Chain A
């Protein structure tokens, strides 16, 4: 068990905040140029993906299927503009391909496709399924005696799917310490606030009751994200969940907590504002 919290130094914090800002800039730009996509749920997950891809995960972009790599499943597949931006920034494919999102003959499908997009470890987008697939990957590491981690980023709305709780039970049974789930808890789903749509809340006590190691953090604080993942990595006798409190649309002021941006395309004026706000240090 973790007794000392592993922390980032100030330089690393700044580097990861830049990476997150660039993911956001790229994803809004992608959706604007592609003319379709889900910006707000991608923005809420951007800091989580920045810490995973630019600090935590063991990867080789030149060898996307490297057997010993860490895996990431974006269970909330509709947030894929954020994933595609991170992958392009890592060098899995050129950033110039990002605007082909959702267009014919593109390797960037409307929802992630593991066969078409280098760096995508699992097809996803049909909600609720990522933890089951992640459990399979975690068990495969055990069979193959490999020490990779499998990370699953879920939304909160998709926790309403029954298969989620099936997966939680079996992951607890198999004590998959190499499976780490991060819940992007932005509080909203397509139809409204999660607590209005279903009886899901409170989330954390339910997961604890299912036998998982649980932490609760600010999902936009790269230091907290990093420390929580490092703590989770040290928990070997059960799977881990990190409940990351986030803001849907985070980083683009007119999209924040505005569910109209669950799916939508910025106008030219809105795009300019977003690019300005997210300008910052460019990669």
Chain B
């Protein structure tokens, strides 16, 4: 049996190197070597995603590489998922996320979902063009720690405030942290509408969520 650390290191590196063709084989090798499936995720793939996020932040990686890293992780998860037991993975936190009403852009939001899932978050993705009431219902049903909203357009960004009002009216505002993001969104805007944070991009969004949950 190969050294556990060595295999996990290779899995981490295959994410960092966007090596979509070898990750499945490496994950099988990990399972065959009796490495617990959750460890393959937390100490292998998630570590890789973290490095990818850092490389993106310092300008070494771009959108193309973020997307490829996500695809590579997906390939690995296909192998690992059947071996994962619910109780094994400690959930880093729960997020309800969506693109607000009137807006159909989702590349940024999907990247946030991918990065959060890669960091062990449980994510309820409401999709695009999400009505304020839908956000409220989802918060009531899933009791998340965090609500994330995305908008690309100046015209639709205003919807974010409506969602926050709807959460206030439902008595749910103080039960969640709220993060907003998208091309026109700034920190000042977030402050003005009563959100807790604005993210400049997907990587920063995921980093803020992690910091709220006290994880790395």
Q: Do A and B bind?
A: no
Which A residues form the contact surface with B (CB < 8 A)?
none
Which B residues form the contact surface with A (CB < 8 A)?
none
